[in-house]
Amino acid sequence: MELGLDDRVVLVTGATRGIGREIARAFAAEGARVAITYHSGEEDAVKLASELGSADGTALALRYDLADPAGHEAVVGEIVRRWGRLDVLVANAVHRPPRRPAGQAFEDVPAEHWVPAVTENLAGVIATVQCAVAQMRRRKWGRIVLLSSHNALGGGPGQEFYGAAKAGLHGLVASLAWDTGRDGVLANVVCPGLTATEQVLSVLPARIRDQETALTPTGRLSSPAEVANAVVFLCSEANGNISGEAVTVSGGR
């Protein structure tokens, strides 16, 4: 299958580690030029950009803050200034809200904890998508994937605010598909289940991991590279007509 990603210009937000890093690597392996973003992990981003070809001008690391109203345009503008266009956006960065203290009820969560989780993970992503669509529509080609979560579909203890923001992304692509489809811009959501990133493996108690794998039809968690494969396909030329969909990568769960 021809993915047609050679020399495409791709932005992957939040690519310092985990799923985003594997998505960036997968696009680079297909010959794309890849801009990656970091929030606090500049060193990790510079290291990855170097691995992906920053010395040859085929990779770029940029700072990006979901909460910064000027940052969305700044990142997309810098990519267009360097490479002339933006073909693909993967909105992967996530603001992880502080863990809720044991026993704290939903109604007791203070606004300063949940408002950033909802505004950054929903309004912040929407703002970046607007900047990307403006570029893609001009060239009549574009692919957008937003990283959601199994918590947007099935919920989970303590996931109300994160889940609400992620569920908003499903509503966004369902209607965006109508707005951009005739201009060649396809937008979808990818929903990972619990994924075996280094961070998940380091904090997840073995007991919970065993429970999760027992409840998964394939008997294991997805790897970040498996999530990346789904993202890359949806962002490729090989995806000719899938838009407004949510694709779950969770071993059948």
Ligand X SMILES: NC(=O)c1ccc[n+]([C@@H]2O[C@H](COP(=O)([O-])OP(=O)(O)OC[C@H]3O[C@@H](n4cnc5c(N)ncnc54)[C@H](OP(=O)(O)O)[C@@H]3O)[C@@H](O)[C@H]2O)c1
Positions that interact with ligand X (CB under 6 A) = 14-20, 38-41, 64-67, 92-96, 120, 147, 149-150, 192, 194-195, 197, 199-200
Whose Cβ is closer to ligand X: residue 67's or residue 84's?
67
> Least distance in Å: CB of 64 to ligand X?
5
Catalytic residue among 54, 148, 149, 236, which? 149
Q: Are 48 and 15 in contact (CB under 8 A)?
A: yes
> Least distance in Å: CB of 198 to ligand X?
8
- Known catalytic membership, residue 149: yes
For residue 183, the one-letter residue type is D
Q: Which residue is nearest to ligand X (CB)?
A: 18
**DSSP H stretches of helix in 53-110:** 71-83
Whose Cβ is closer to ligand X: residue 181's or residue 246's?
246
Return the DSSP state at 122: I
For residue 205, the one-letter residue type is P
Whose Cβ is closer to ligand X: residue 139's or residue 225's?
225
In three-state secondary structure terms, 11 is: strand
Task: Give the number of residues written for the chain.
Answer: 253
Catalytic residue among 64, 166, 222, 243, which? 166
Whose Cβ is closer to ligand X: residue 197's or residue 236's?
197
Question: Exposed, middle or buried, 132 (CB in 10 Å: 0-12/13-18/19+)?
Answer: buried
Catalytic residue among 54, 64, 162, 250, which? 162
Whose Cβ is closer to ligand X: residue 71's or residue 142's?
71
CA angle 172, 114, 110 (to 5 degrees): 155
Cα separation, 145 vs 177, in Å, equals 12
> Least distance in Å: CB of 232 to ligand X?
15
Cα separation, 53 vs 28, in Å, equals 9
- Known catalytic membership, residue 162: yes
- Known catalytic membership, residue 64: no
> Least distance in Å: CB of 27 to ligand X?
15
Largest CA-CA distance found in the chain, in angstroms, rounded: 52
DSSP string of 95-120, one letter each residue: -PPPPPPTT--GGGS-HHHHHHHHII
In three-state secondary structure terms, 248 is: strand
> Least distance in Å: CB of 101 to ligand X?
20
Active-site residues, by number, are: 149, 162, 166
